[in-house]
Structure 1
């Protein structure tokens, strides 16, 4: 149990980041304060989770904000172990990779989302994404649930991206 310093109002179901001030004191009761989740990343360089943004259409998801790299996921994509960021040294110097968008399809996949969104302007997802990958080749089932695909894909992508940038 952590006692939060000061009076704080938090909506039920909200995700918060708490900085514990007396973690290494051997006490059983901890004190802490709410902090901005990005503060952890700024101070220590640690990965502190991903952000989810809801978009009304695939077009809005892709073009609503600016991203350094856009990756689509599908069982019909290229196996993730073949993933590479084909960037020149000049391009690497220009991009800091702080804004990577990973797009997951619904039950019918990204193919159905592309087909349903008339504002996209193409008919094949591999034309739409810089990288179109399969996180779980040979998955053995027709689909992987999104809540399973997110951690699988992110945990497999991170070391590949870090290796490309080092």
Structure 2
């Protein structure tokens, strides 16, 4: 009986349905993650690496909402490569991972040169209370980042950590 259920779940994953979902203007990511589930992760990973930036970004956000251990690897990869919007999605998606996985993603995101990526990474660090573990990176940002707003945000975050 359990095997027939697994087969039914796999059959319910339809790549075209995922594409149709991602092409909408306003998305309910938690509902999409619940509907498509972990079987969609390889397909979403391929979309993240694709050439359609809008679709890649939406796929990165959607994969962040799926509850599966393999999502961490997809988000780590997204944090290292791709456009800034994909790296932002990875930093945001880190909030939904375990602290260990989130730390690995956010460690990379805090090293990014794009102010928006760093901004979202710091928000995720703060919301997950990972400041103590990533304090040296945040301190580095507060002293060396080129964008003054990001430097000041990092200084504020350092004060909250102490």
- If the length of structure 2 is used for normalisation, what is the TM-score? 0.26
Larger RCO of the pair (alpha carbons < 8 Å, separation 6+) = 1
Q: Quick check: which has more Rg, 1 or 2?
A: 1
- If the length of structure 1 is used for normalisation, what is the TM-score? 0.25
Say which structure is richer in helix. 2
